[in-house]
Structure 1
Amino acid sequence: MDDFAGTQAPIRRLTDPAEAIAALELAVPGMSSVRLPVPAVIDWPVLEAELGIALPADYKLLCELYPPFVVGGFLSVGTPEPGGESGWVEGTRDELETVGEWCEEADLAVALHPFPAPGGLLPWAVSPQGDFFLWSTHPTDPREWTVTVASRSSVWWHYTGGMVQFMAEFAAGVLEPWALPRVRPDVVAW
């Protein structure tokens, strides 16, 4: 039996990508030390066309400013590399197969489905223990996407802010980690 722990909400949702990045840099002071010297030029139109959906602006800005990284030795965020957009989409599709299996196995009051189902879950990070951090997609506006956490211990929960704000609040200890460990506010680039 899977558990749904509930939904957590930010006091104020950060909709400006730069403001969300600033919150993450405040929560994880080492972020600025791993920032790329020159923003990455990712071909978002190609990536999004292959994926079949536009991605949130906070994620795009994060990917342009930072290489792939791990927060607190736990939250691993992969980012597409310039020229590697198709490979990133392929890796995401592979992860979607696992997400689909988890959704089928989950015994939740409200069924969840992987992307490309309407409102489907799309992975954006993992943990070394196999936890998934997912977007709950919105079909017409990526600014409306929220976060769903699927823990390896079968506890699922939602966060009604964006993914960069989620990372900031998770690292700062603002969120109840429900079935996840508390993380240190440090970062290591891959």
Structure 2
Amino acid sequence: MPTPRRTRADRRRATEARILGSARELFAEKGFERTTIRAVAAAAGVDPALVMQYFGSKRELFGQAVKETPAPLTATDTDELVDQLLASLGLKLGALPEGTLAMMRSMLTDRAAADQVRDSLGRQIDAIGAALPAAEDPELRAALIVTALLGVTVGHQLLGLAPLREASPERIAALLRPAVEALAGSR
């Protein structure tokens, strides 16, 4: 049975996906500053002009490569919220999506990447703050929870701190649980 012919639009989407995949890998490995359009094009097997045609600039390519939608909070009480937050830490200590790694690696050296991270973390803080019980300073508590989990993720994923790399996500979550519970106001 002959294979169906791919349309021009199908080929364009496939090329765009290949470019984005290569960009995610390179931004995750090298960060924004050290990744070039030429390197992305070479990794994707296309001409650098095609990358620019599809994405306009390195900044726009980066923005598309790191775009992701965080999972919504579904907790109905504080204990469930703590469980969900600590479960998300297990995901963050596993294989993070390359877009997330790219953003994390770039956030300290690139103002626009920092703005994207700030916006993303701000949405997480808002969601967690809204899910906290009528506690004092819910936004501050949420910010402390988010940055504590971010710090653990950075220590594990980017810095490769041996104690964090050697411990299981379950052990790390168990040790963090009392702190997260206290911040969430469930203790």
Please, what TM-score do these two structures have when normalized by structure 1? Answer: 0.27
Larger helix share, 1 or 2:
2
Greater relative contact order (CA < 8 Å, ≥ 6 in sequence): 1
More strand by share: 1
